Homo-oligomer: A and B are copies of this chain.
Amino acid sequence: MEHYSISTYEIIEALGTIAFAISGTFTAMQRKLDPFGVLIIAFVTAIGGGTVRDLLIGDTPVAWMRDMQTCLIILFTALATMFFKTHVQKMKITLFLFDSLGLGLFTILGLAKGISLGLNPGICIALGTITGCFGGIIRDTLLNTIPLVFKREIYATACIMGGMFYFLLLEINVGTVIAKFLAIAFIFVMRIIAVKFKLSLPKFEY
């Protein structure tokens, strides 16, 4: 008898993928792409970060190619978002929460992959940040705008600080599982606070 169990971890990862796919779908629809273009952008937003991470460390074929699960989740999410767009738009807060959760999870996931390769902590944090942020960066580049990440309220900054927080927790001998959970929560909460209070890094003025 085959045993198939879905871990909390996998559920959160799927929710993060869904949130990123929705964000890609909406951005692409606003730029009036045809449905196929929308699908591609949804796809790229959801898998871009993990793909760049896997390429940089040489872990190929990259993650989304290993099974159909991620592709099917993105396909279904993008189609559903296109068909029920008015309804989905009303769920703005829910979406933002998923997106923040996805950001936290993807970041810590990427960071953990760096640790398992024996990379330097600073490099692991960079790898985590890349995993969390590059989907959005590629989306915006393909859509011909300066990536939002470079201008938005504390976003990548939350990833970097969350990564530092994770290593700090390990340093004081908190177990790996709890440290991961707390670091993901840290990024999640930091994003919510940043958006709620419209916090952003100061821009350069000339």
Task: Give the chain B neighbours of A155 by CB distance below 8 A.
Answer: 36
Identical copies of this chain, number: 3
Contact with B along A4-26 (1 / 0, CB 8 A): 00000000000000000000000
A40 CB contact (under 8 Å) in B68, B122, B156: B156
CB distance from A202 to the nearest CB of B (A): 7
Report the separation of the CA atoms of residues A39 and B36 in the bound assembly, to the nearest whole angstrom: 30
Give the size range of A's interface with the partner.
Answer: 35 or more
Closest to A159 in B: B36
Cβ B123 vs Cβ A33 within 8 A: no
Cβ A71 vs Cβ B126 within 8 A: yes
Answer whether residue A173 sits at the interface, using C-beta atoms and an 8 A cutoff: no
Cβ B61 vs Cβ A202 within 8 A: no
Closest to A201 in B: B34
A122 touching B68 in the complex, CB below 8 Å, given contacts A38-B204, A56-B61, A61-B56: yes
CB distance from A26 to the nearest CB of B (A): 10
Task: Give the chain B neighbours of A150 by CB distance below 8 A.
Answer: 28, 33-34, 36-37, 40-41, 142
Q: Which residues of A contact B (CB under 8 A)?
A: 28-38, 40-41, 51, 55-58, 60-62, 64-65, 67-68, 71-72, 82, 117, 119-120, 122-123, 126-127, 137, 141-147, 149-151, 155-157, 160, 200-206
Task: Known pairs A36-B150, A67-B120; list 13 more (Cβ under 8 Å).
Answer: A34-B151, A35-B201, A35-B202, A36-B155, A36-B157, A36-B160, A37-B147, A57-B60, A58-B60, A58-B61, A61-B119, A65-B126, A144-B145
The 10 closest A-B pairs by CB, nearest first: A58-B60, A37-B150, A34-B201, A33-B150, A29-B204, A144-B146, A57-B61, A68-B122, A68-B120, A65-B123
